[in-house]
Structure 1
Amino acid sequence: MPLLRIEGVAKAFGNFRAVDRLSLDIRAGEFFALLGPSGCGKTTLLRMLAGFETPDEGRILLGGKDIAQALPHERPVNMMFQNYALFPHLSVRDNIAFGLRRAGMARGDIATRVDEMVALVKLDGMEKRKPDQLSGGQRQRVALARSLARRPQVLLLDEPLAALDKKLREGTQAELMELQRRLGTTFIIVTHDQEEAMTMASRIGVMDAGRLRQVATPRNLYEAPSSRWIAEFVGDINLFSGEITSRENNRLKVATRGAGTLVVSELWPPVSNDVVNVAIRPEKVKLSRRAPASEEGGSQAINRLDGVVTDVNYLGGVTTYKVKLESGAMVRSSVANTARLDIDAYLAGQRVVAWFTSDDCLVLEQ
């Protein structure tokens, strides 16, 4: 039995169905991410878990008990808001203690718990400051400490890092992950940032139009998307539509419109339709000045595409290239910069061979 079970939950606002009969299981101690574009229903789902919205239908079971109709303060769930929602007239200490006082905890126990929370989020020496005397990262820690002070079974985080700059956001991600591991509390984070979800979460649920499209680990979501929509939404991808012309020795030959005939390793379960999409991640596409050997290690077929480099973007750790094929189709390649100098780099206008193995490809049904 999972800690949290969502069964056929739906929520509509007028004629707009924000969450459409969604079902999901979340395990105890899991760091789970709800990922999706704006308006997909992820925040509405989070608010129903917190008790700020009531489902039109379905059940929300926490520890086997249906809490769908329970008020927010009656459920062992807490929510950390995107804007932190700190009380500007209260000190750090009083902001953290606010929920404990509302719950009627004894004064001595409150003092002890607040001390624990201050130490946990590393705000020692700042207890008397007001929110306007803190940096964005420090305010975020106060909000986190207040959310954790009542020791909820589930902590809900609504885009908690959106207001932080890139460097601070990366550091805070690591701190949140370490904090979650130490506490063992179930964290559910809502985000539209794919990198954030894949960095922090043990599993990710991708939402679109009020429904879950796929639930998987970050690696499986990226390497084995269940549909073309998921493949395009999560990370960058090269996609070629085509038709399977032969199946032999666990390999498919796919005649594509933009890249000619590609050889693809068939994964289990096999595809049932002949009209498919061949997907290749940019980092799987290698570039060479001449065609590679016909076999890599003697086991994998190699697909070769001749073209001309049209765009070069140096991003520090990697360089991304766009290669225009003879058919006019574009292929993106992402190459790690392993050398300090650009001895292995390619220039715009240069002819290259873009190549990848049969195992680098993924077949997706339409």
Structure 2
Amino acid sequence: MTEQGVTTDAAPPSPDVPLLRIEAVEKRFGGSVAVDGLSLDIKAGEFFALLGPSGCGKTTLLRMLAGFETPDRGRILLDGQDVALVLPHQRPVNMMFQNYALFPHLSVKANIAFGLKRAGLKRAEIKARIAEMLALVRLDGLAHRRPDQLSGGQQQRVALARALARRPKLLLLDEPLAALDKKLREATQRELIELQRRLGTTFVIVTHDQDEAMTVADRIGVMSAGRLEQVAAPRQLYEAPASRWVAEFVGDVNILDGRIAAQDAHRLTVATADAVTLSVAPPRQPVATDRAVSVAIRPEKIKLSRRGPSPDAAGALNRLDGVVSEVSYLGGLTSYTVKLDAGASLRASLANTARVEVDEFSRGQHVVAWFAPDDCVVLQR
């Protein structure tokens, strides 16, 4: 099928060529820069997440991909074709909005059929496509209901079915699960993953929910002030953040500032102002001695004990004495804040693997916090 402006049933792209290529795209609103020279490649069949705080430009970027905004500079290539000036309905792209944007006076069936009719499909094909979509999102039997007769989760599925009905090459999702409660949101995340894998359609989701991005996405692009701070798989993003900003934005983290006092091929020695001297794994990029750096340690990497590790235990190189100042029971884990004798505070998260009625450590208790050099990430910016 060919729609005006863009061919929608072209041959699949080469695996070496991205389905979507964003080249130095810039968008301004008056004197404010919303997207600042951003470049990004997204592969065919990928589930990609744009993650960032409010106002970072992620929704503006999504709207440019959909055709609702036009870049001031740069190019947007979809399957090799520049679509920056192509009208929204002429692109093989569909968008699912945060508020679902369902037509309240139309039935579920009519909502799904709306875009198909505008595309000029024949009645028999529309009927078959509606049945396919209802089965896909498990809404069989609800075809004649109106949106106000559906639950929030069912409305979300209708919006998803409508967005997928035209079989877009690229599906854009703008905070699609924000209105759902926690349990329904988690269940819908799993359904989205399964659906995307079954269809093989490229999904790009915008979210400020880190857990959501880490759950659904193959790769995540973290945005700040209109720029991409880092693009990586969830595990790499969490375990090897490219900057202090990314480390602090993604998940919980302890940051200790200091200077490199010594180094060899296997370890760096970092002298900190308020957590004594640390032995840490070297970063991938070489760093000069006496250079100011930050050391990031995730709370779950930190172990606590009353007497500290044995001298030959892994992690015994970094042993910090302190007092528990806060205890937060969170169900699956307990978060402890330890005020170190050297001045800094560290957060440690310990899994609650046993069914007990008291926390392992209590406020005011003296403890030893310890962690391995490989648990530390050295950040140079």
Verify same fold: TM over 0.5. yes
Relative to 1, partners in 2 of residues 1:272 and 1:111: Cα closer, same or farther, differing over 3 Å? farther
What residue in structure 1 maps to residue 286 of structure 2?
Answer: 270
Q: Where in structure 1 do 4 or more consecutive aligned residues deviate above 6 Å? A: none
Aligned to 1:281: 298
Aligned to 2:353: 338
1 CA distance for matches of 2:328 and 2:288? Answer: 39
TM-score (norm 1): 0.98
Match of residue 158, structure 2, among 138, 142, 150: 142
Gaps of 5+ in 1: none
**Residues 203-234 of structure 1: per-residue CA shift (max 9 Å, x gap):** 00000000000000000000000000100010
RMSD: 1.1
Is contact 2:275-2:343 (8 Å) kept?
Answer: no
Structure 2 residue aligned with 1:158, among 155, 158, 174? 174
Q: Select 2:229's aligned residue among 213, 228, 231.
A: 213
Specify the SS of the correspondent of 1:97: helix
Partner of 2:12 in structure 1? none
Give secondary structure in 2 for the equivalent of 1:189.
strand
Cα contact 1:301–1:358 (8 A) shared by 2? no
Q: Is 1:313–2:328 an aligned residue pair?
A: yes
The Cα of 1:271 is off from its aligned counterpart by 2.5
**Retained in 2: the 8 A contact 1:203–1:215?**
yes
Does the CA contact (< 8 Å) of 1:263 and 1:301 recur in 2?
no
Gaps of 5+ in 2: 1-16
How far apart in 1 are the matches of 2:49 and 2:316?
Answer: 37
Structure-2 residue corresponding to 1:21: 37
Q: Which shifted more, 327-336 or 108-117? A: 327-336
Aligned length: 364
Which letter maps to 1:184?
G
Q: Aligned equivalents of 2:72 and 2:198: distance in 1?
A: 36
Q: CA deviation at 1:270?
A: 2.5
Q: Give the drift of 1:265.
A: 1.5
Which amino acid is 2:306 matched to? Answer: R
Identity rate, percent: 70
Distance of aligned partners of 1:229 and 1:55 in 2 relative to their CA distance in 1, 3 Å threshold? same
Q: 1:186 aligns with which of 179, 202, 212?
A: 202
1:347 is aligned, of 341, 362, 370, to: 362
Going from structure 1 to structure 2, the CA distance change for 1:174 and 1:112 (only over 3 Å counts) comes to: same
When residues 295 and 268 of structure 1 are mapped into structure 2, their CA distance, relative to the original with a 3 A threshold, is farther
The DSSP-based 3-state class of the residue aligned with 1:214 is strand
Bigger mean CA deviation after superposition, 243-252 or 219-228: 243-252
Displacement, 1:198? 0.3
What CA deviation, in whole Å up to 9, does each residue of 1:27-77 have, x standing for no partner?
A: 000000000000000000000000000000100000100000000011100
- Which among 27, 33, 55 is matched to residue 49 of structure 2? 33
Give the whole-Å Cα distance in 2 for the aligned partners of 1:56 and 1:342.
60
* Counterpart secondary structure, 1:276: strand
- The residue type equivalent to 2:264 in the other structure is E
